[in-house]
A = this chain, B = another copy of it.
């Protein structure tokens, strides 16, 4: 976990009208950070009269990293070298800062829900993400037509405010079977496998090795050694009416096609196909496997060692004491 203030060195892609479409931050330096870059923060900070500046001459950066120096030298016409500083954890004020915060989470400098992401949507531009990089949407029809004529396909992979994580950052020790399913801003810990049906939104992710074949909504965090089965859902807070941030503890299993509308603790199982919403009335069993009381699922929030099932003979949702402990298949996680 790092601290503010920090400065990101970014390459911004500009639209024809000069709007910033995205910014890639190959390097972020912290005040009092890593030795290799310990001078950078103070040097760069001295250059900055504002929180975002364009750097016309890369030599001013005093970069010791040759690869990086080479890469930021002689940028293309539609690119700009910028510095973006974050001193306080306040709401987002521009596109560069929005991208910097998403990078901070995906580089794992900050865990999900620790950065202020207010105004994020407002400062992200809806962009066509193509095989030719990010392109502004205005006039895109002409570009499709013109590519067609040259017998080149303009492949538009996505039209979205968020790009794919892997266009910018490859977290170490992960597998991502379909990179279009993980957004920049995802937090993926070593040993995480995101399968084809898995999905990880921004400001969300895994805190350790995990098998993700279901959907991690924005704000949702999954503990180590947990397994989200194929097509399972973690209820999000951005749309659909849910207000409680979901989290999954360690050593948990959400069965295939299950769903979770409450945060759960460690060593819990939700049976395949069962959706536990906060309002579900649940029969709680004791350690002797006797029914104890009926309560709302939301009252079980955060508890450990629960097994949620729907009784297959009478349709009641039950929370029993979980007798099993979950183990990830190690051969799948040596990434």
Verify A240–B255 contact, CB threshold 8 A: yes
A324 CB, nearest partner CB in chain B, Å: 7
Verify A328–B239 contact, CB threshold 8 A: yes
- B178, B312, B332: the one contacting A180 at CB < 8 Å is B178
Which residues between 159 and 180 of chain A lie within 8 Å of chain B, taking CB atoms?
159-162, 166-170, 174-180
CB-CB under 8 A from A21, the residues of chain B are none
CB-CB under 8 A from A146, the residues of chain B are 70-71
Bound complex: CA of A128 vs CA of B151, how far in Å? 16
The segment from A32-40, A46-54, A136-144 that touches chain B is: A136-144
The segment from A85-93, A96-104, A108-116, A274-282 that touches chain B is: A274-282
Check if A76 is an interface residue, CB within 8 A of chain B: yes
A308 CB, nearest partner CB in chain B, Å: 11
Most buried by B among A126, A145, A168, A256: A256
Closest residue on chain B to residue A122 by CB atoms: B331
Verify A259–B259 contact, CB threshold 8 A: no
CB-CB under 8 A from A303, the residues of chain B are none
Verify A177–B160 contact, CB threshold 8 A: yes
A259 CB, nearest partner CB in chain B, Å: 5
Check if A6 is an interface residue, CB within 8 A of chain B: no
- B160, B253, B271, B282: the one contacting A312 at CB < 8 Å is B282
Verify B272–A253 contact, CB threshold 8 A: no
A244 CB, nearest partner CB in chain B, Å: 13
Closest residue on chain B to residue A255 by CB atoms: B240
Binary B-proximity of A214-246 (CB < 8 A = 1, otherwise 0) = 010100000000010111110110111100000
Bound complex: CA of A179 vs CA of B316, how far in Å? 40
Q: How large is the interface on A (under 10, 10 to 19, 20 to 34, 35 or more residues)?
A: 35 or more
- B158, B272, B281, B334: the one contacting A176 at CB < 8 Å is B158
Check if A335 is an interface residue, CB within 8 A of chain B: yes
CB-based closest 7 A-B pairs: A315-B315, A273-B275, A233-B256, A156-B166, A280-B312, A121-B331, A71-B145
16 additional A-B residue pairs with CB within 8 Å, beyond A76-B151, A272-B277:
A70-B146, A71-B148, A78-B151, A121-B332, A122-B334, A126-B175, A131-B153, A144-B167, A157-B180, A178-B181, A215-B231, A217-B230, A238-B332, A241-B326, A258-B273, A274-B275
Give 7 CB contacts A-B under 8 Å.
Answer: A121-B331, A128-B170, A181-B196, A256-B259, A259-B273, A271-B275, A271-B277
| Chain A interface residues toward B at CB < 8 A | 11, 24, 26, 67-68, 70-72, 74-76, 78-79, 121-122, 126, 128, 130-133, 137, 140-142, 144-146, 148-149, 151, 153, 155-162, 166-170, 174-181, 196-197, 199, 211, 215, 217, 227, 229-233, 235-236, 238-241, 253, 255-259, 261, 271-275, 277, 280-283, 294, 310-317, 324, 326, 328-329, 331-332, 334-335
